[in-house]
Amino acid sequence: MAQRLAVVTGASSGIGAASAEALGALGWRVVLVARRQQRLEEVAERVARFGGDPVVEPLDAGDAEAVLAMAQRVRSSYGTPGVLINSAGAGAWRWLEDTPPGDMERMLDAPFRAAYHHTYAFLADLLAAGSGVIVHVGSPASLLAWPSSVAYACSRWALRGLHESLSQDLVGTGVHSCHVLFGEVSSEYFVANPDSHEHIPWIAAPISRSTPAECAEVIVRTIHRPRREVFHPPLLRVYAEVNRWLPGTSRWLSRATGRRR
């Protein structure tokens, strides 16, 4: 790995914040990216307790120019990151007719555009170094068609598309793209995105809820042993396999146990 420098998006909360803390505890310098500066500074304080020297970069990851300017600052001050964790994400579960185009655009901003912008900003550096790991934090909504989640799902399917096509391009380069899919996580996501949790189909109920710290452990393991696709909890993989081999049954179960009009 080129350097022990990691850029973490969505670092003001949840999975991103926990990943930044986990990497900080392992001696990585972390660049913390999200919109809320105060929250980033609180995370930075926790990371600094491990003796790290975190960097706070408040920005809207949907703004490509802001991301490119941040990447230039990071590059010139600290060098090439060895790891990029794309964990910025938002978006409520709604019917399409309740999701005006402006809301859809904001949902595409994170995770999809955020991940695209950050990957674009650092990929040439990683390729030149001949090593690096890009972790995309994804959702099973990128595999299964669940009712009343159209714009939310679009952003996750686009993120998976980014990962899948990028993975093909990265073969033999020493740079890895990893899609890490989590079941429900006890982060602030459902507070920040009301109108979501109650719409998850109850077919998902047997999948246990993870903490952000558990997710961070999975991400750190993935950084040390990169894999194309990681499911946590592992039961999630069973759902993915049912969906792959019995897509009609999977769609029916999701409709039968999901939100109804």
Ligand X SMILES: NC(=O)c1ccc[n+]([C@@H]2O[C@H](COP(=O)([O-])OP(=O)(O)OC[C@H]3O[C@@H](n4cnc5c(N)ncnc54)[C@H](OP(=O)(O)O)[C@@H]3O)[C@@H](O)[C@H]2O)c1
- Chain residues binding ligand X by CB under 6 A are 9-16, 34-36, 39, 60-62, 87-90, 109-111, 114, 137, 139, 182, 184-185, 187-189, 192
List the end-to-end C-alpha distance of the chain, in Å, as a whole number. Answer: 50
Compare residues 61 and 144 and give the one whose CB is closer to ligand X. 61
Nearest residue by C-beta to ligand X? Answer: 89
Burial of 135 by CB count in 10 Å (0-12 exposed, 13-18 middle, 19+ buried)? buried
Q: Quote the least distance from Cβ 95 to ligand X, whole Å.
A: 18
Q: Quote the least distance from Cβ 131 to ligand X, whole Å.
A: 25
Are 167 and 123 spatial neighbours (Cβ–Cβ below 8 Å)? no
Compare residues 1 and 58 and give the one whose CB is closer to ligand X. 58
Q: Quote the least distance from Cβ 15 to ligand X, whole Å.
A: 4
What does residue 8 show for φ and ψ, rounded to 5 degrees?
A: -125, 120
Compare residues 129 and 139 and give the one whose CB is closer to ligand X. 139
Q: Quote the least distance from Cβ 154 to ligand X, whole Å.
A: 12
Q: Quote the least distance from Cβ 110 to ligand X, whole Å.
A: 4
Compare residues 192 and 253 and give the one whose CB is closer to ligand X. 192
Are 140 and 239 spatial neighbours (Cβ–Cβ below 8 Å)? yes
Compare residues 39 and 176 and give the one whose CB is closer to ligand X. 39
Helix (H) or strand (E) holding 83: strand 83-86
**DSSP assignments along 140-166, one per residue:** GGGTS--TT-HHHHHHHHHHHHHHHHH
Helices (H), 79-146: 101-108, 114-129
